[in-house]
Structure 1
Amino acid sequence: MTSESSSDSDTIALPHPPDREDQEKGSTPIEAAAPRPSLSEFPDGGLKAWSVVVGGWCCLFCSYGWINVIGLFQTYYQEDLLPSYAPSTISWITSVETGMMYLSTPLYGKIYDNHGPKPLVIWGTFAHVFGLMMASLGREYYQIFLAQSICSALGAAALFSAGTGPIGSWFFRNRALAFGIVTSGSSFSGCLIPIVVTRLLPRIGFPWTMRICAFIFLGLLCIPLVVLEPRVRPKPQPWEIRAFLRPLYEPAFLATTLGLAFFSWGMFIPFNFLVLEAQSHGMSLSLANYLIAILNAVRYGAIHSHLPTSI
């Protein structure tokens, strides 16, 4: 049950507190919320708001953008570094790396709600860069798995949560534009990193290629360490398992969650096996590696073709 909308078009309607009858039935009461801000309180622009967008862009460039190039590593590990392992075994490295991004996000979301983005950026920068550095030293399967699939992926997931979390508090009317720009960081990274890796691998080898990527990320992540912050100060709340499960009782939220789950289930298969599939049809490795960059360039163009033209 909702309250009557205010005559002011910039005021958002608020839900009523739960009825006494609902509380007596044992349903979890909804805490009385403070009045939500009017739309005029969102900056929707300005130096500070757009600097947050830049910080979020850098976070997605280094986190989700790295996941977008997993196909390069499936090919390299299978043909060079770990040739004695079956392709299905090697695919666990890239699939667990992607899975860790999603599995850890609810926990990072709670940390963000309680403490803001800065702790996530600090931890994410350390774990992601350290994991890539350790992967550059790896020669055994378990070493690569622990460094890239666990350590680096946990750091990347923290950066993803930190980069996307603050945007909604700074923008309302221009929120789609701001999120589109931030999201483009992952696609731009997916265009650039495959070219960097493809050009560097035969020249300087796998260890220094990974280290150079780690140094690029370290430099970019200095920006969100400085500029990334929410407009509304976080209010710590206790950790409760029910808080994670309660939204799933809403049919609309559950349907959206399942839809995104199935979408992500199929989306990363081309990213992981595109290069190998192209090679199996006669394409040279040097050209097949660029397919990852081309695929991400198409995504990058699709994002910008749907952005509004005015800010």
Structure 2
Amino acid sequence: MASTAGERQPLLRNSTEGDGERPRQISAHEVTQHSQEHPDYPIDKGYVAWTQVVGGFILFANSWGLPNAFGVFQTHYVDSLMPGEDTATIAWIGSIQLFFTTLGCLPGGLLIDRGYLKSVIAVGTVLEVIGLVISSFFKTYWAILLSQGVCMGIGSGLLALLPVAVLAMFFEKKRMLATGLASTGASVAGVAYSLSMRSLFVSIGFAWAVRILALIILVTNAIAFSVMRLQLQYGSKGSKFGLHHFKDLPYTAFVVAFTLFVASSFVPFFFVQEYALQLGLPTETAFNLLTVLNVANVFGRFVPNFIADRYGGVNTLIPLTIACIITMAMLPLATNVPTLMAFSVVYGFLSGGVIIIPGPTITDLSPSTSDMGARLGLAYLVAAFGGLLGNPVSAVIKGDGKHAVPNFSGVWFCGAGVMAAGLVALIATRWLKLGSLFAVGRV
């Protein structure tokens, strides 16, 4: 990778900073207006702007895409590599990985405010590759938990916030759409990595399959390293991290909603394969359910975002969340191939928006451009605990009887219940922002 000495500094600064005046409150949409007054890279158009979408696609694939593909690891660990461990114990590997992926967004956000884009990509990539390579040499639970869950999770976390923050600098009117298009990388990776890993586990074994995945991540992240840029910064020393951001009540309510969504939205991705196997479906069919979930998730990551650009992230998330809750609660009725496939298509599509829209919505809720990176990082820091606890708690609720439907009903209802609590917090966000529950406005 090239030297990081010439990294650009980001456009995440209050325009009055440093002139002795009190900083003026600037809406998130004024980021791009400020850039156009001091030309650097074009906004909403141009080769450089759209190459950020390409780079963001890769970083989404190699950060959030890895938890999307964990289901194939979960099944392999339970059935082959560590058959002595129960499902709930194995699920902690994926949850620890998701926790550190979300937790790492805070240092990633603070560092990108200070202009260290290239350095963060480099360090995150090295940690991901090291974690995977180390895990390829072990077959014990704790070794894989530390290498895949912790080391790889930290690396993913450093990369996970970068696309959201960078695209917020390059897009205004098309911000949600650009972020949604880039975020399809997570779903594409969920499909591609699941299919390839499952095949490679059988053909060449766990160790070499994981090493090949490490090589793919190294090569693709090198492409992102070479194309991603930051807008010009005007003397900023970076945003200030602190709990004072929670004095902004709409932001606080939205962080609560976001945390509950992270805790609940990945539950079907983790457990639908095992549910199908307990129903007696063939292994191939059970695996295909996860693939269908991720394929549908691709479309759910840019179609709702197109709508959110016009009506606002919160307004778009409310009906999406309601539909997700209903769909997950109806999963106990899905007991055969047609109904499970229908669930995978519908939930995969709906959850795409629930997973990705919160990021750019936080930038819209940020009153000052100088705080955008810190507020994004802080939100993801809190949401990390939702990712840590959501799937293992759901796994503990799972029964151990002979019948799949009663065994997993608690899992699905728990996921739906947590998401319903997130919906309440989402409605509170809208109320606090607009001043009335039924007020009309973009939020």
TM > 0.5 = yes
Q: Which among 33, 37, 41 is matched to residue 38 of structure 1?
A: 33
Residue 220 (structure 1) aligned with residue 215 (structure 2): no
Residue 154 (structure 1) aligned with residue 154 (structure 2): yes
Partners of 2:115 and 2:230 within 8 A in 1: no
Shift of 1:192: 1.3
The whole-number CA distance in structure 2 between the counterparts of 1:272 and 1:170 is: 34
Shift of 1:37: 5.8
User: Could you tell me which residue of structure 2 aligns to residue 119 of structure 1?
Assistant: 119
Matched ranges for 1:185-224 at <5 A: 185-224=185-224
Shift of 1:36: 6.1
Shift of 1:259: 0.5
Partners of 1:116 and 1:230 within 8 A in 2: no
SS in structure 2 at match of 1:110: helix
Shift of 1:73: 1.4
The superposition leaves residues 128-166 of structure 1 with CA deviations (integer Å, 9 ceiling, x where unpaired) of 111111111112111101110011011111111222221
User: Could you tell me which residue of structure 1 aligns to residue 265 of structure 2?
Assistant: 267
The whole-number CA distance in structure 1 between the counterparts of 2:136 and 2:273 is: 22
Shift of 1:272: 1.2
Partners of 1:44 and 1:174 within 8 A in 2: yes
Residue 251 (structure 1) aligned with residue 249 (structure 2): yes
Aligned CA RMSD, in angstroms, stands at 2.6
Shift of 1:237: 3.5
Letter in 2 for 1:82: M
SS in structure 2 at match of 1:45: coil
Partners of 1:118 and 1:162 within 8 A in 2: no
Partners of 2:102 and 2:160 within 8 A in 1: no
Shift of 1:233: 3.0
Residue 98 (structure 1) aligned with residue 98 (structure 2): yes
Distance 1:114 1:189, change over 3 A: same
Matched ranges for 1:24-63 at <5 A: 31=23, 38=33, 41=36, 42-63=42-63
User: Could you tell me which residue of structure 2 aligns to residue 297 of structure 1?
Assistant: 295
Shift of 1:57: 0.8
The superposition leaves residues 208-242 of structure 1 with CA deviations (integer Å, 9 ceiling, x where unpaired) of 111111111111111111111111238564786xx
Residues 275-284 or 29-38, more deviating: 29-38
Residue 170 (structure 1) aligned with residue 165 (structure 2): no
Aligned length in residues: 283
Residues 283-292 or 249-258, more deviating: 283-292
SS in structure 2 at match of 1:153: helix
Structure 1 unaligned runs (5+)? 1-13, 18-28
Residues 193-202 or 121-130, more deviating: 193-202
Letter in 1 for 2:181: I
Letter in 1 for 2:139: R
User: Could you tell me which residue of structure 2 aligns to residue 138 of structure 1?
Assistant: 138
User: Could you tell me which residue of structure 1 aligns to residue 76 of structure 2?
Assistant: 76
The whole-number CA distance in structure 2 between the counterparts of 1:103 and 1:181 is: 23
Partners of 1:138 and 1:144 within 8 A in 2: yes
Partners of 2:177 and 2:302 within 8 A in 1: no
Distance 1:30 1:130, change over 3 A: farther
User: Could you tell me which residue of structure 1 aligns to residue 183 of structure 2?
Assistant: 183
Partners of 2:65 and 2:186 within 8 A in 1: yes
The superposition leaves residues 278-307 of structure 1 with CA deviations (integer Å, 9 ceiling, x where unpaired) of 100011222212221110111112234335
